[in-house]
Amino acid sequence: MTKRFLIALFAICSVAFSGIADDKQAEATFEVKSHDFGTIKEEKGPVSCTFEFTNTGEKPLIIIDATASCGCTRPEYPTKPIKPGKKGKIKVTYSPIGRPGTFKKTVKIKTNGRERSTTLRIEGTVIPKK
């Protein structure tokens, strides 16, 4: 009976730990997660910045969604999977029209990666039209 018990225990442990050994996931590693536009003029219109990232994981990275904290900010992101070791870009555009003063906005990135959510930040000061 002891031999059967040990064989059963070994089989259960093998199945339980097999998932741990295959812990391969995608992972978005951003070079920077914030951008300061500094001072921008309202009459010049929208400004943009690009956040570059690398899939440092071992599986394809999928950007599921990118949501801005308000309608004045618009993210653009890749819709195709990013292969391991490859780079991708998320472009964030801010419209200063009718928004004089200091601003701080966020964009939430949802992925299939190890970190399911990442927050990108933009900020600056809008000089009003004269």
Per-residue confidence (pLDDT) for residue 3, from 0 to 100: 55
User: What is the structure's pLDDT at 130?
Assistant: 80
Query: What's this model's pTM, rounded to 2 decimal places?
Result: 0.81
Taking residue 50's Cβ as centre, other Cβ atoms within 10 Å add up to 10
Determine what percent of the chain is predicted with pLDDT higher than 70. 83
Kindly tell me the burial class for residue 101, based on how many C-beta atoms sit within 10 Å of its own C-beta (0-12, 13-18, 19 or more): exposed
Window from 14-23, 93-102, 106-115 with minimum mean pLDDT? 14-23
The mean per-residue pLDDT over the stretch 83-108 comes to: 97
Identify the CATH homologous superfamily for domain 24-127: Immunoglobulins (2.60.40.10)
For 60-66, what is the mean pLDDT?
97
The residue ranges of every structural domain in the chain are 24-127
